């Protein structure tokens, strides 16, 4: 799985400000993508709309299996998104 490719597609959506994709455990595929999405202010968007958008632009195995909207991403002291925290949270919710 290549999260950056999925993130690049997600960030072309007009209602998405930022997106981070992490792999979550899957019994058959080993790992599948989960998207954390920050919507642009004033925009409405559903997880289904995000998934449908991805289906139009990505191979089926790259489409996020779930989408979670987030107001702010956890950041390091240098301002980078702490992907490991999102991955840990996603894995604990499986």
Lookup result for tokens 């993508």: 33
How many whole angstroms separate alpha carbon 34 and alpha carbon 91?
10
CATH number of the domain at 3-92, please? 3.30.300.30
Predicted TM-score (pTM) of the model is 0.90
Domain assignments of the chain as residue spans, ordered by start = 3-92
Cα-flanking dihedrals φ and ψ of residue 86, to 5°?
-65, -40
Instruction: Specify the pairing of strand 66-69 against strand 16-26.
Output: unpaired
Number of H helices, E strands in the chain: 3, 3
pLDDT, one tens digit for every residue, the chain (94 residues): 689 999 999 999 999 999 999 998 877 777 889 999 999 999 999 999 999 999 999 999 999 999 999 999 999 999 999 999 998 888 777 6
């Amino acid at each position: 799985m290549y999260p950056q490719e999925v993130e690049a597609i997600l960030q072309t959506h007009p209602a998405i400000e930022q997106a981070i994709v992490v792999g979550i455990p899957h019994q058959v595929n080993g790992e599948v993508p989960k998207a954390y999405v920050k919507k642009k202010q004033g925009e409405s968007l559903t997880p289904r709309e995000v998934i449908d958008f991805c289906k139009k632009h990505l191979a089926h195995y790259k489409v996020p299996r779930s989408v979670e909207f987030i107001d702010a991403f956890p950041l390091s002291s240098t301002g980078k998104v702490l992907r490991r925290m999102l991955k840990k949270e996603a894995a604990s919710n499986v």
